[in-house]
Amino acid sequence: MLPLQDTYRHQGQRRALARELRRRGIHDERVLQAIATVPRHLFFAPAFEAHAYQDKAFPIGEGQTISQPYTVAYQTQLLNLKPTDRVLEVGTGSGYQCAVLLQLTPHVDSIEFNEVLFTRTRQLLASLGAGGAGLYCGDGSVGLPDRAPFDAILVTAGAPGLPPALLRQLRVGGRLVIPVGGSQTQRMVRVTREGAEAFVREEFEDFRFVPLLGVGGWRS
């Protein structure tokens, strides 16, 4: 479906993108290296490849987008991942964020609500050699209780509030990074579980995401 080619030109574009993200405040060198490594253009249809290394979101069909690189790097940096961390990504989408996470830890599960995207992205990640993630189709707002607990949970869609099921699936010391707010803009939130019923909430910048669908989000 896609030409699996990664040229010197693409690699140079990624290095330039990583430099731009550093200038914008991304300071985690492992995250920047992941951005410089993952071939984002392979997550685009060939006709739109020219947009791949611009710092912007882009439609991928089914009413969804591939997040802009700054947003991907920003959320990933907030997770503060270690190589041994077990991560749940809610909203596989194009698979790009999943591929970035796999550069930081091999222990990634990802769940996608939309069946069309799930089927397409599963095939793409396998073709890119990034099939090590556990990929699931279902309601990500309720997480993956059979796979919990997680050291980190990353939600790539805007939620009206904090989904209780995701909080319960955090290990003590685990972090949930999720955009929370209305339909226009959301505030990036990080919640750290400090005990069985103890959670610390931090708020960061405003972003704009597609809605999180499901019983713990905006109902479909």
Query: 110 an active-site residue?
Result: no
Rounded Cα gap, residues 44 and 88, in angstroms: 24
Tell me how far CA of residue 194 lies from CA of 66, 74, 191, 198, 218, in angstroms. 32, 23, 9, 5, 27
What is the spatial distance between Cα 157 and Cα 178, in angstroms, rounded to a whole number?
Answer: 8
> For residue 175, what are its two tokens?
């972090």
Task: Give bridge partners of residue 147 from the DSSP assignment.
Answer: none
Backbone phi, psi, residue 92, to 5°: -65, -40
Name residue 64's beta-bridge partners.
61
Q: Which residues are catalytic?
A: 67
